[in-house]
Structures are given as C-alpha cells and as structure tokens.
C-alpha cells in the first residue's frame, strides 16, 4: 500500500485522465474488438496465438482470484481513495489484475510475433503502462500487477512453444480444444462450489462463469474453424474489410445483449451467453464470411483478371 499512497500524491487532473485512457487499452471490450479486427481482417493464425494466451490466462486469473480472495486496496485500507472513474471496471477480487492480464496477453503476444525491435518495445511498453495505470488509479497493488505480468509472460512462452511444435495437426487441435473444455469445466465447478458454500459472493462466481463460457466458445470455435471452415480473412478492398468488421461486431453485441434480455442473468445463462459470443467470433461469423466471399467471387464480373 505504501507504493499506492506514493502514487496517489502524484495525481493531477491531467495524469488521472491520461492513465484512465491508458487503462482502457486493457479492458475486455477493447481487447476483444482488436482481436476481432485481426482475426476477421488481417491474420487468422496470429489471432489464434493471442486467443490461446488470452483465454488460458483469463481462466487462470479468475481461478486465482476466487482462491486467494484478496480485497481491493480501498477495502484493505479504508482511508485510501482510488480515482473515482476507475471504480466502474474495478470489479471482483484484486489479485491478480484482470486488466493487466488482458493487455499483456494481447500486446505481449504481438510483441513476441513482431520482427522489428521498435515494435516489440512499443507493444511491451503498452502492456506495462496498462499495469502501471491500474496502480496509479489505485485499483490494484504492485503484487496484483506483477503476478499478472509474470503469468501472462509464462503462458506466452508455453503457447509459442506449442505452436512451434504441435499446431496444425488434427490431433493437436483436438487436444487443444479438449484442454480448454476441461479447464473451463473445472473453473465452473470450482466457482459454483465456492458460491454454493457461501465462500464467495455471486458476482465473483459470475466473473468465473463468464470466463469459462468464453473458454468453451473458443474451444468449440477453434476446432470447427480449423477443421471445417478455414476462412480467408483477406479482402481486396478496404471498404469491404470495414463493412465486414462492423457487421461482425454488431452480431457479437446483438448476441451478448439479446441473450441477456431473453434469458436474464444467472450463472448458467452468463456461461452460455459468453460461449455463444466467442463461438460467433471464431466460427459462426467466419462461416458466413466464407460463404459470402465465395458467392461474390462466383458472380459475373467478379472474376480475377
């Protein structure tokens, strides 16, 4: 807490706004939106690497949160005041930092894949800045941030090793999908057990079920897309890519919001909702892209010259 108190004395309106902006770069919606852009329009295989890191780290962080159950800084020390606008996204237990995990998973994997030194430096800096922003805003301790950074770095190394050695075969795809399904099922069982026993509140179990649902959607979508869909993210014209991206995001938001209105909020409903959103991103929408692009190429006047 001493470090957070020292940072709080450095706060100014400008720095609060600056780090409030930086912290957004690690929020779920921003990271998912960037992943969708890369997946649907740029580089599918790169997105799979990021997805492996992001979802494995996400499941791990949620499991650690409900295991250690460490409260936020302002609960540990009631006299400490975080920056007010940061409280909206500071949900769940404090340890480890979810924002830092999201940023490290995305920007760290991009850095590992970059061939240019300056790009790697910028991407690593972004991940570190997101982690620092969580401390500057007073919603996480250094331990929360450092553990997330170290965990994400370890998972990046493991995923890079996996893709360099095993990715591409049917057996590897099956094993990867089964791994995600088992990990997600274990997290659901663990969080529901703690919730049923009164050890954790419902909001913490919900966060775990959302992460597990996303993991299930990724497991199913990854296997289906790799084995049966195999869409091409490239398009000849930028307007086509922009339209494709906007339509895909609209579909994901429609599923996320529409299912919430229909089924309400429960642990099971949240699990299914997040699974379907990720399944849409990874498999269902790519299937529509492939069918549409194939149909467009087959129309008169669309032949390559």
pLDDT in tens, 240-298: 899 999 999 999 999 998 988 888 788 999 999 999 999 999 999 999 988 877 655 54
pLDDT digits (tens, 9 = 90+) for 86-141: 888 888 899 999 999 999 999 999 999 998 999 999 999 999 999 999 999 999 99
pTM for the complete prediction? 0.91
Question: Cβ(49)–Cβ(159) under 8 Å?
Answer: yes
| Residue found under tokens 């959302």 | 210
Using only the alpha carbons of the chain, give its radius of gyration: 20
Residue range 194-210, pLDDT digits in tens: 999 999 999 999 999 99
For the chain, how many residues are written?
305
Rounded Cα gap, residues 93 and 276, in angstroms = 26
Residue 117 tokens, joined: 């030194």
What tokens were used for 134?
A: 């969580």
Q: Identify which of 235, 77, 263, 51 has the alpha carbon closest to the alpha carbon of residue 159.
A: 51
Q: Where exactly are the structural domains of the chain?
A: 1-165, 166-293
Phi–psi pair at 130, nearest 5 degrees: -60, -45
Residue 23: pLDDT above 90? yes
Alpha carbons 187 and 300: distance in angstroms, whole number: 52
| pLDDT per residue as tens digits for the range 130-188 | 999 999 999 999 999 999 999 999 999 999 999 988 877 888 999 999 999 999 999 99
pLDDT digits (tens, 9 = 90+) for 37-52: 999 999 999 999 999 9
pLDDT at residue 302, rounded to an integer:
44
End-to-end Cα, the chain, rounded Å: 66
In three-state form (DSSP H/G/I as H, E/B as E, the rest C), the secondary structure along the chain is CHHHHHHHCCCCHHHHHHHHHHHHCCCHHHHHHHHHHHHHHCCHHHHHHHHHHHHHHHHHHHHHHHHHCCCCHHHHCCCCCCCHHHHHHCCCCCCCCHHHHHHHHHHHHHHHHCCCHHHHHHHHHHHHHHHHHHHHCCCCCHHHHHHHHHHHHHHHHHHHHHHHHCCCCHHHHHHHHHHHHHHHHHHHHHHHHHHHCCCCCHHHHHHHHHHHHHHHHHHHHHHHHHHHHCCCCCCCCHHHHHHHHHHHHHHHHHHHHHHHHHHCCCHHHHHHHHHHHHHHHHHHHHHHHHHHHHHHHHCCCCCCC
């Amino acid at each position: 807490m001493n470090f957070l108190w020292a940072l709080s004395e450095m706060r100014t309106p400008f720095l609060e706004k600056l780090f409030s902006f930086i912290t957004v770069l690690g929020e779920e919606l921003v990271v998912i939106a960037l992943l969708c852009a890369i997946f649907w329009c740029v580089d599918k295989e790169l997105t799979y690497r990021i997805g492996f890191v992001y979802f494995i780290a996400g499941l791990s962080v949620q499991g650690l949160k409900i295991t250690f159950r460490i409260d936020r800084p302002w609960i540990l020390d009631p006299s400490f005041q975080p920056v007010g606008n940061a409280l909206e996204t500071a949900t769940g237990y404090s340890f480890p930092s979810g924002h830092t995990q999201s940023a490290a998973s995305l920007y760290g994997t991009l850095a590992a894949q970059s061939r240019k030194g300056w790009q790697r430096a910028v991407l690593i800096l972004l991940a570190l800045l997101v982690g620092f922003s969580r401390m500057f805003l007073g919603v996480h301790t250094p331990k929360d941030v450092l553990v997330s950074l170290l965990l994400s770095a370890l998972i990046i190394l493991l995923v890079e090793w996996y893709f360099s050695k095993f990715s591409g075969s049917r057996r590897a795809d099956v094993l990867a999908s089964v791994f995600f399904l088992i990990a997600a099922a274990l997290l659901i069982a663990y969080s529901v057990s703690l919730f049923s026993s009164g050890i954790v509140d419902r909001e913490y179990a919900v966060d775990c079920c959302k992460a597990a649902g996303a993991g299930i959607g990724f497991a199913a979508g990854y296997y289906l897309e790799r084995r049966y869909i195999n869409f091409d993210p490239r398009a000849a014209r930028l307007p086509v890519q922009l339209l494709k991206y906007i339509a895909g995001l609209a579909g994901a938001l429609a599923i996320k919001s529409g299912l919430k209105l229909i089924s309400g909020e429960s642990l099971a409903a949240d699990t299914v909702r997040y699974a379907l959103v990720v399944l849409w991103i990874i498999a269902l929408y790519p299937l529509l892209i492939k069918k549409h692009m194939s149909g467009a190429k087959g129309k008169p006047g669309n032949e390559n010259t």
